[in-house]
A and B are shown apart, each in its own frame.
Chain A
Amino acid sequence: MKGKGEKFREKLIEYILFALSLSAIIFLAGIVLTLLKEAAPAFRDTGFLNMIVSKDWYPTYEPPDFGMLPLIAGSFMVTAIALMVSVPLGLCSAVYISELAGKKEKILLKPFIELLSSIPSVVYGFWGIVFLAPAIQRHFDLSSGYCALTAGIVLGIMSSPIIASLSEDALNCVPRSFKEASFAMGADRLETLINVTIPAAASGIITSIILGTGRIIGETMVVLMLSGGAAIITLSPMEPVRPMTSAIAAEMGEAAFQTPHYHSLFAIAIILFIITFILNMAAEKLAGKYRLKLGSHR
């Protein structure tokens, strides 16, 4: 008798937990469907491909132009600059914490890095406005310090703790026996690091860079505050740019509900979503592979 009631309760709880677990799927699906629905009129009017390759973004002109190429180019430019900053800083920090720091130092440094990665982006953006942008303007003698370079550097600094912390995890996962075998063959610490530890952690390190890239490309506040906001296609890092996220953030406030402008901002969000989705899936695939690779040697 008790057995039956108990079984029922067990099943019921399992179903409740299961139903609540579905929230993640529901939200993700909800986001995809909402973006598609709100962006559909824009794609219908201008055409998906046409929108991506057309290089005029004048949403408030009459007639308006909704070419996203300058925004996409702006995002890539800022992301490239940011990666040039965050990859060397992040990886060196990871190698230092994982391989060179003493035991006590390590215990302190890991939370320190974590602490730094929790600083809100708006704070970095504010620092960029009051410190870095004026400094860059003075140093390069520009008419304005708000440009791709400023936004990229701040984003790079901001994301280096993230890359450092994830890469450090990857380096830490390399089994001791790998290194010991290398030492036993007469290799010194540097040779072991370059020939054994880093290659063994490679897919983990690449995963961290991919995830970092996703963070950078999706970051809004820093680019909104620092990138200058001009929707032009340029190769010069000293020029102002208008990355996708900042276009959405800056214009959604003014775009009237259900206008072509409103819909085309959702279209940008879809491009953004697709890019980060691909990066995430790639990271997930790689992470799985690397756990398998190292796990089998444990």
Chain B
Amino acid sequence: MKMQAKSLRQYAAFLMVRAVFLFTSFILLLITGFLLLKGAKVLSFDFIFKMPENSMTAGGIFPAILGTFYLVVMSIIFSAIPGIACAIYLNEYGPKGWISTMIRTSINNLSGVPSIVFGLFGLAVFVKKLGFGVSILSGSLTLSIVILPVIISSTREALMAIPQSMREASMALGATKWETVWNIILPQATPSILTAIIIGIGRAAGETAPILFTAAVFYSKELPRSIFSEVMALPYHIYALVTEGTAPQSQIPIAYGASIVLLFLVIIISLSAIYIRQKHRSAYAKIGH
């Protein structure tokens, strides 16, 4: 009798946990599904590849897509090398002193800094002090600080996954530390470092707050000409379409379209990161790590 009550209790508790989990997934799918359904109506070739028309109430979102592309590419250029170098230093050289503890703590804290604070930093330093103005350069420098900790920690994870025996084998053959890193570790880690960069791309593409005052404008007459031009950007465009402008009724459909373009972009980016990582992981499983 007691046994039965116990298993009933367990059954009920687990059922509840499962129900809450399904509810959570349902809400999240509801949100994406709702946007997909509404946005699919607006989506077309012209929507993606045309300029906005009639002061943002018709036409496409091409400049916003292009602007996001520029911002993302530039921010990766700025953050990839220091990010990867930092991960290599911490993981492969790994001095145990206070300075590497400080580097680690800084990375952790940097990843927790609110994105609007990065935006203010970018405004004060890149836009004003260095005089880059509201531009692709200021925006992508700001974004690169946002994604720096993301790239560092994903790369470190990748380096940690490489079996110690590989390093030992290389060193035993007389290779120096750097030769080991360059010839053994980096080739092994390339797919995972790529994953780290892709995760960074996904993050940079979706961030809005850091570019609010450093790069983004709602409307620009022409496509950006140089890195000192201000740009339209996809996430900012969604925000501006629903909060600014004069004709909300005709702007909301465009915002639906822009939302699913951004959603698609980020999901494809994340999926490719997950795919590369999963494939790489199973490769290690084969060597028997």
Contact = CB atoms under 8 A, between A and B. Distances in A.
B209 A249 contact: yes
Interface in B1-50: 6-7, 9-10, 13-14, 16-18, 20-21, 23-25, 27-28, 31-32, 34-35, 38
B229 interface: no
Interface in B98-121: 100, 102-103, 105-110, 112-121
Contact of A28 (B20, B110, B177): B110
Interface string A167-195: 00000000000000000000011110000
Contact of A118 (B25, B120, B266): B266
Interface extent on B, as a size class? 35 or more
Contact of B274 (A111, A188, A284): A111
Prevailing SS type, chain A contact patch: helix
Nearest to A107: B278
Interface stretch (A31-39, A48-56, A65-73, A232-240): A31-39
Contacts of A34: 120-121, 124-125
B18 A269 contact: no
Contact of A225 (B21, B93, B242): B242
B78 to A, nearest CB: 10
Contact of A218 (B25, B109, B112, B124): B112
Interface string B224-250: 000000000001101100110000000
Contacts of A294: none
Contacts of B89: 14, 17-18, 20-21
Given A22-B103, A115-B267, A119-B32, A284 B238 contact: no
Interface extent on A, as a size class? 35 or more
B90 A31 contact: no
Contact of A245 (B100, B116, B123, B235): B116
A17 B93 contact: yes
Contacts of A88: 20
A37 B103 CA distance: 23
A92 B24 contact: yes
Contacts of B35: 123, 126-127
A248 interface: yes
Interface of A: 6, 9-10, 13-14, 16-18, 20-25, 27-28, 30-31, 34-35, 37-38, 88-90, 92-93, 95-97, 100, 111-112, 114-116, 118-127, 129-131, 157, 160-161, 164, 188-191, 211, 214-215, 217-221, 224-225, 245, 248-249, 252-253, 257, 265-266, 269, 272-273, 276-277, 279-281, 283-284
